[in-house]
Every structure is written in structure tokens, then in C-alpha cells.
Amino acid sequence: MFRPGIALIAIRAMPVVMWAVILYAAWKWALSTWGSVLSEQAQALIGGDPAAVLSGINSVVAVSLTAWATWAIVKHTLGWWFRRYEITQTHAAARTGVLRRTQTVVPLRNIQQIVVDRTIAERMLGLGTICITTAGSQTIDLAWVAVTHPHRRVEEIKSAMDAARPMPVWLTEDPDKPQRPVVIGLVGGIGAGKSRVAGMLASLGCIVVDSDRDAKAVLDTNAVREQLVRWWGKKIIGDDGRVDRKAVAAIVFADPTQRTRLEELVHPIIKSQRTQVIERATLERRPGVVIDAPLLFEAESDKECDVVLFVDAPREVRLQRIKSRGWSEAELARREKAQLPLEDKKARSTLTIVNDGDEATLEKRVQEAWLRVKGMPRTERPAGGGDQKRAAKRGG
């Protein structure tokens, strides 16, 4: 918040002071030119000593003109003192008046034109008046009178306008430069249907990263296989010379420490591979990359995502689905115990897709979720999906 230049007092009061001086000078000239005539007229009208009468009239004139000039100075000094200008992140404002206060506020988003008007007096004193109009207005909506360094103040207004009303991406970025696709994390309970949802998103143009499949492939790389043998011996190697994933699962699900060792070995490799996939998707101008990862939150991979989708299904439905894998309810409980509780995953996710119906119903819900994801401004997408939950449960 700031005041106009103090020279505003001189600009506003100077005309009155000058007129007072001119009138008093004219009065003195009249006395010197027609003094004898005025004395005779005063004596005829009032009587008494003509010199005393003229002296009294001269005093009245001098006091009146002085009071007039003094009042102008006091009035405009008070006006200057109580006049305030303000520029914030959202609006420009002016507050004026001594006894009766007036406040004018113009939102920065509505400003259409800014004009600097400088009279001769303002130019001599280094001042200027900033006139602001808004869209659709035919008049000046806001005026900052007698501002010091007016052009500098205009730049401040423009900077605040740019911050309040950023330029669209298509105006500020190279239109030929491929835009990074939205990265979607996909989580849910075991048997909830994440793979089906991932396949539907793939049909919409997204590239799907299957973390389970990638993890299995990483286990068979020479460096990882040799490290696992050093940790757990050759018992984890199958007859075909590859890592026996069931043997590894038995070790890591029985001992959280061993599971952590495995994750710290495998996850950085998988993350590097995901980065390469996102770069490829960018070059191919794909709309999205889906990271299907059961341990998305546990591995902090949600920090790589713009959105996290939670696939939900009733437990009895999930039990029926996992029987086709040859798993029992005890196996389901054992594996889910090694992960974050489903309630925590759901709370940290951006959107929820309920998979409790047929294929057509699920496809409709996936398409609705995809439209919502595309409609989210990138700046509003929570980094890592969450703690800023956008509850949008997709029921029937």
C-alpha cells in the first residue's frame, strides 16, 4: 500500500494559492491607482477617516485570501494523507476521502487496459496518473492519481496480472514439443481387477507398465540372480536355471527384513525402466502411462504419478477371482498383510473405480474416470496422488 507523490498537494493547491496572490496583487494595484477615488467613495458611504476605512478593507481582503489559500493547502494535504493505493495478488484498489471514505477495487483478472496520463505539471514533478479500465467498461474504473515512477508501477500491475492470470500453455510453450503424458498409478486389493482396468486404459491409448511382470524379469537378470544366490543360496534357483519365484516369495513373505532387502534391490531398477517408458510415451505423444504396481505406495512410486486410481471390489468377489490362481483365503490374507491396508491405499488415492459388475459396467466406469483425469488441470493433480484425495467413488 502506498500514497501518491507528495507533490500532489502542490498540484492541487497551487491554483488556489496563485489566484489568491493574483487577487491580492490586483487589489493592491487598485489601491495605488484609484486610492483617492476609493477614499472619497468610502468617506461618502461610511464616513470617518478614509485612510482607516481603506486599511480595514485591505486587512479583510488579505485575511480572506490568506484563509482561502490556507484552506486549499490543508484540504489537499488531508486528501493526500488519506489517499491510499494498493496492488495485491488478486486486485488493484484505491481508497480516498477524509470524512467520507470511498474504496474502488478492480480484480486483476478483469483488467483490460492500463494508460499512463501525465500533465505538464506531473511531468515536471516526476509524477503520472495511471488509468485502469476493465473488460466491457466504457469508462475509467480505477485511477491512481499523481503516482511517483508511474511506469514502474504499471510494470508491477502487469506482473501481478501475469501471476493472477497465467498465459495458457498453448501460448507459452512450443506447440511442436511433445507434452509429457499423465502418469497414472493403479492400486487395489488382490483380485480387484487391476489388470482388467489397465487393459481398458491401454485401449484408450495409454502405455501400461506392469510392475509385477517387470519385477519377474529383473529377477532373471544376471546381476540380481547372483545377488539373490549370495543372500539365500542356490535353493532359489530352479531346474531351468532361473530364479524360482515361489521360493523367493516364501522367503520374503515370511521375513519382512528379507522382503525389504529384495525391494531395495529391485525397485530402483524398475523405476529406471519406468522412466524410460515415460520418455517413450512422450515421444509417441501417448495420452498417459499407467503404472500397475501392487506396492505403489510402499515403494513411494506414487510420487512419480499425477493421479492414483484405486480399483475396489468386495472381498467375497476377490476371493472367487483368486481361486483361479490356485490361492486360498489364507494365502490372500498372508499377501495382503505384507502390504498397506486397503483402507489406507484407498484414502491416499485420487479416484476410486468400483469393480463389482460385468465387463460393460467396468468399462463405463473406467471411461468416466479417464475423462475426469483428462479434465484435471495438471497443476491441480496431486503429486503422488494423494493426501489430497479427490473422492469420486464410481458406484453403479
311 with 355, same domain: the answer is yes
Region of 255 on the Ramachandran plot (φ > 0 left; ψ -120 to 50 alpha; else beta): beta
Residue 216 has what pLDDT? 84
The CA-CA-CA angle for residues 212, 217, 221, to 5°, reads 145
Q: For residues 132 and 187, state if they share a domain.
A: no
The answer to the question of residue 283 being in a domain is yes
Q: Are residues 213 and 359 in the same domain?
A: yes
Sheet holding 91-96, edge to edge: 84-87, 91-96, 102-107
- Is the pLDDT at 35 greater than 80? The verdict is no
Boundaries of domain holding 20? 7-81
* Final residue belonging to a domain, choices 166, 191, 214: 166
Q: What are phi and psi of 208, to 5 degrees?
A: -105, 130
Tell me, yes or no, whether 162 and 134 share the same domain.
yes
The CATH number of the domain holding residue 213 is 3.40.50.300
89 and 64 together in one domain: no
Residues 148 and 221 grouped into a single domain: no
**What confidence score (pLDDT) does residue 310 get?**
95
Buried/exposed 75-104: b ≥16 CB within 10 Å, e otherwise: ebeebbeebebebeeebbbbebeeeeeeee
- Alpha-carbon distance of 344 to 248, in angstroms, equals 27
Q: What is the mean pLDDT of residues 250-272?
A: 87
Position 2 scores a pLDDT of 87
Amino acid at 190: I
Q: How many structural domains is the chain composed of?
A: 3
Same domain, 294 and 356: yes
Lowest mean pLDDT among 206-210, 250-254, 256-260, 332-336: 332-336
Alpha-carbon span 150 to 152, nearest angstrom: 5
Same domain flag for 144 and 37: no
Q: What is the CA radius of gyration of the chain?
A: 40
Is residue 386 pLDDT above 60, yes or no?
no
The answer as to whether 396 is a domain residue is no
**DSSP element (H, E) containing 96:** strand 91-96
Cell numbers given for 130: 495511471
Residue 328 domain-assigned?
Answer: yes
Whether residue 88 is found in the same domain as residue 74: no
Domain annotation covers residue 243 = yes
pLDDT at 298 over 50: yes
To which H or E segment does residue 308 belong? Answer: strand 307-312
Are 236 and 122 part of one and the same domain?
no
Residue 336: φ, ψ to 5°: -70, -30
Task: Answer yes or no: do 310 and 291 share one domain.
Answer: yes
Mark whether 64 and 196 lie in a shared domain.
Answer: no
CB 259, CB 248: distance < 8 Å? no
- Residue after which a domain boundary falls, among 120, 140, 166: 166
Residue 393 lies in a domain: no
Q: Alpha helix locations (H) across the chain?
A: 7-45, 50-82, 120-124, 150-164, 169-172, 194-203, 211-219, 222-232, 245-254, 256-283, 315-322, 329-337, 342-348, 359-375
Cα 299–chain centre separation: 29
337 assigned to some structural domain: yes
1 located within any domain:
no
Last residue of one domain, picked from the residues 52, 81, 110: 81
pLDDT exceeds 60 at position 380:
no
Task: Specify if 175 maps to a domain.
Answer: no
